[in-house]
């Protein structure tokens, strides 16, 4: 039959949901009244997070975007799949378990940092303008991935007054549940 | 070797094919001639004048007689007696031209975009009786709920949704049969975006009409009051060859450069990380030294083919629709070379709501 199409056998079969996680830095906005909005030194920003052994070059947005104007959202759509293979990435799974039980430095939170990236690099230095925190434990309990959730961004000095919001997605519920189960079984046995 | 000398169709993003993983396929004794993407569906016509469809089918836009999703390219057998020449996918409907010069339509029809005189959706291709072989159609285009056919003589016909003036009528909200859109000069190219439209005259002038917001008409503010009729876009000095309209942006190919305007919050203008919106046509400086032969817009992304058959993409990178990687995605704010096609000659590209298709042959 000449209608037939040919599809080469796919080389890679997709990893099970429990053996990977995906973090997306979706978008960022600052509140109009936030000090950063009138800070001329902040011209463009990027966002980064840290994950165990991954180099920052893989966990920071590859571009800096112009600082959002009042009422404007800027979009990174920066998503990264992190391999959590039970054999090859045992240490990452162990690390996530310590995060789940809150015994990591950020006490169970994935911390995102908003960084000001000066345009003329010689003159100024990169400067942290705010932080956003995503708690992992509720995700384990609910078993639901996080889709485009707004996190408060707080400034370095005043951790009580939000200066904006960072939108993130996290697909990790299946992996977190599998990791928690296997680690607690290990503890009990 | 994996891909035959006659090439392959490569799929990226939410295509419904191969579980939305980047993939490819080819025809056993046939080659693609035209590709088109709707919001969530895809159409291919081949050298043997067959039509293949896949993707979402909620409105019957695949024309296969049902409304179930189809996850691999499937020949529309009902059209077999006709020779299908080319195809245009709208957001949720499809138009085709046959060798006999007839136009058929299927899918969503809430604004009369099927041109059949009513607003009842169809799940099989129906003949638009308005067109005869005398019309000699050379291009079809389709938008959210709009349709267009352009003839060899430069006559443009449009039908469907006119709520924003996107089919160039002043005082009605929609029309269920084709009507001629004219500015008194022959037209050489048409593009229907989601809620706006643009055409090029044989003299190389660009006209835009439809939804006026966010600069996508490329017009100065004082002209926006007349957004329901085609207006000349000032600010492009040289001859325009092609135009492509996306969801909120417009991409223009001239003899010398690529201009973009409208919304660029995801990078779809290719103007860098400081321009998220412009109503003034701006040249993409970063590709000024490249000879571009084709421009294409999805809802929020853009693809360019060079004369030498290289592919550049930019804009919303979600789901891998820019063809730049397997699982780590990010928005691109300048045209980015798809390095996986360096060993291929890219012939065709089509961009949809969240996907992209590429037809390429190996460089021998
Ligand atoms: Mg850096
Ligand atoms: Mg989209």
Ligand 2 center to residue A37 CA distance, Å?
29
- The one-digit pLDDT tens for each residue of chain A (189 residues) are 446 899 887 766 778 999 999 999 999 999 999 999 999 999 999 999 999 999 999 999 999 999 999 999 999 999 999 999 999 999 999 999 999 999 988 899 999 999 999 988 666 788 999 999 999 999 999 999 999 999 999 999 999 999 999 999 999 999 999 999 999 987 776
**Domain A19-188 listed as CATH 3.40.50.720:** no
A1, A5, A45: which to substitute to probe chain B, counting the most B Cβ within 10 Å? A5
In chain B, which among 47-76 make CB contacts under 8 A with chain A? 48, 50, 52, 72-73, 75
Asked if A77's CB is within 8 angstroms of B317's CB, the reply is yes
How remote is the CA of residue A57 from the centroid of ligand 1, in Å? 7
Say yes or no for a CB contact (<8 Å) between B265 and A73: yes
Round to whole Å and give the CA distance between B97 and A176.
Answer: 52
Mean pLDDT confidence for B66-78: 96
> What is the spatial distance between Cα B37 and Cα A182, in angstroms, rounded to a whole number?
45
CA distance B203 to chain A (A): 38
**B268-314 pLDDT tens trace:** 999 999 999 999 999 999 999 999 999 999 999 999 999 999 999 99
pLDDT tens digits, one per residue of B14-34: 999 999 999 999 999 999 999
B351 vs B189: CA distance, rounded Å:
18
Indicate the pLDDT class of residue B165, thresholds 50, 70 and 90. Answer: very high
Alpha-carbon gap, residue B362 to B364, rounded angstroms: 6
Gap between the Cα atoms of B168 and B296, Å rounded: 22
Question: What's residue B363's pLDDT?
Answer: 96
Rounded average pLDDT over B336-359: 98
Q: Give the CATH number of domain B8-362.
A: 2.130.10.30
pLDDT computed for residue B360 by the predictor = 98
User: Which residues are paired to B54 by β-bridges?
Assistant: B42
> How far apart are the C-alpha atoms of B233 and B250, rounded to whole Å?
12
pLDDT of residue B1: 57
Q: Which residue of A has its CA nearest to B334?
A: A63
Rounded to the nearest angstrom, the distance between the alpha carbon of A49 and the centre of ligand 2 is 25
Nearest-neighbour CA in chain B from A108: distance (Å): 25
Nearest to B73 among A5, A72, A80 (CB): A5
pLDDT single digits (tens) B80-107? 889 999 999 999 999 999 999 999 999 9
Contact B330 A74 (CB under 8 A): no
Indicate the DSSP class of residue A60: B
- Give yes or no for A161 touching B (CB within 8 A): no
* A64, A74, A126 from A123: Cα distances, Å: 17, 25, 10
CB of A13 within 8 Å of any CB in chain B? no
CA distance B110 to chain A (A): 31
Ligand 2 geometric centre to CA of A55 (Å): 30
Identify whether the C-beta of residue B207 lies closer than 8 Å to the C-beta of residue B232: yes
Instruction: List chain B domain ranges.
Output: 8-362
Task: Report the pLDDT value the prediction gives residue A2, as an integer from 0 to 100.
Answer: 46
Q: Give the one of B23, B25, B327 whose C-beta lies nearest to A81's C-beta.
A: B327
CB pair distance less than 8 Å for A79 and B318: yes
Best probe of the B interface among A51, A63, A71, by most B CBs < 10 A, is A63
Contact flag A77-B316 (C-beta cutoff 8 Å) = yes
What is the rounded radius of gyration, in angstroms, for the C-alpha atoms of chain A? Answer: 20
pLDDT confidence of residue A185: 86
Rounded Cα distance, A50 and A110, in Å: 8
Q: What is the pLDDT of residues B104-133, one digit of tens each?
A: 999 999 999 999 999 999 999 999 999 998
């Amino acid at each position: 039959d000449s209608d037939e199409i040919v599809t080469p056998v796919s080389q890679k079969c997709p990893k099970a949901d429990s053996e990977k996680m995906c973090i997306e830095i979706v978008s960022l906005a600052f509140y109009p009244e936030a000090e950063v909005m009138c800070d001329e030194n902040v011209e463009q920003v990027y966002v980064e997070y840290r994950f165990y052994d991954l180099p920052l070059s893989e966990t920071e947005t590859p571009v800096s975007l112009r600082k959002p104007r009042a009422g404007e959202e800027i979009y990174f759509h920066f998503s990264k799949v992190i391999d959590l293979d039970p054999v090859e990435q045992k240490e990452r799974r162990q690390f996530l378990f310590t995060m789940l039980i809150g015994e990591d430095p950020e006490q169970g939170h994935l911390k995102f940092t908003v960084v000001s990236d000066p345009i003329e690099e010689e003159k100024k230095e990169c400067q942290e303008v705010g932080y956003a925190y995503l708690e992992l434990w509720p995700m384990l309990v609910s078993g639901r991935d996080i889709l485009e959730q707004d996190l408060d961004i707080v400034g370095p000095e005043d951790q009580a007054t939000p200066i904006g919001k960072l939108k993130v997605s996290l697909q990790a519920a299946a992996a977190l549940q599998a990791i928690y189960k296997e680690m607690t079984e290990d503890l009990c046995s | 070797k994996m891909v035959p000398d006659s090439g392959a169709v490569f799929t990226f993003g939410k295509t419904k094919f191969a579980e939305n993983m980047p993939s490819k396929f080819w025809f056993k004794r046939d080659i693609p001639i035209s590709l088109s993407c709707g919001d969530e569906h895809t159409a291919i016509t081949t050298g043997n004048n067959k039509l293949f469809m896949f993707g979402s089918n909620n409105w019957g836009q695949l024309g296969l007689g049902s409304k179930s999703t189809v996850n691999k390219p499937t020949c529309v057998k009902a059209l077999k007696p006709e020779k299908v020449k080319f195809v245009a996918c709208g957001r949720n409907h499809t138009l085709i031209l046959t060798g006999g010069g007839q136009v058929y339509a299927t899918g969503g029809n809430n604004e009369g975009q099927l041109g059949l005189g009513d607003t009842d959706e169809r799940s099989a291709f129906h003949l638009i009786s308005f067109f005869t072989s005398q019309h000699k159609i050379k291009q079809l285009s389709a938008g959210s709920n709009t349709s267009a056919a352009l003839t060899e003589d430069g006559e443009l016909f449009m039908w469907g949704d006119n709520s924003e003036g996107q089919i160039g009528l002043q005082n009605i909200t929609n029309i269920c049969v084709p009507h001629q859109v004219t500015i008194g000069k022959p037209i050489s190219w048409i593009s229907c975006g989601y809620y706006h439209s643009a055409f090029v005259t044989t003299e190389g002038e660009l006209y835009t009409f439809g939804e006026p917001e966010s600069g996508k008409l490329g017009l100065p503010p004082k002209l926006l009051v007349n957004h329901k009729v085609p207006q000349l876009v000032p600010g492009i000095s040289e001859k325009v060859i092609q135009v492509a309209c996306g969801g909120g942006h417009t991409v223009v190919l001239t003899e010398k450069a690529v201009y973009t305007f409208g919304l660029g919050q995801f990078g779809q203008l290719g103007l860098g990380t400081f321009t998220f919106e412009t109503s003034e046509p701006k040249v993409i400086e970063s590709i000024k030294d490249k000879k571009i032969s084709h421009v294409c817009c999805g809802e929020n992304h853009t693809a360019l083919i060079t004369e030498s058959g290289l592919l550049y993409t930019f804009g919303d990178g979600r789901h891998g629709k820019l063809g730049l990687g397997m699982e780590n995605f990010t928005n691109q704010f300048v045209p980015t070379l798809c390095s996986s096609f360096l060993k291929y000659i890219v012939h065709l590209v089509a961009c949809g709501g969240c996907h992209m298709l590429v037809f390429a042959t190996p460089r021998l």
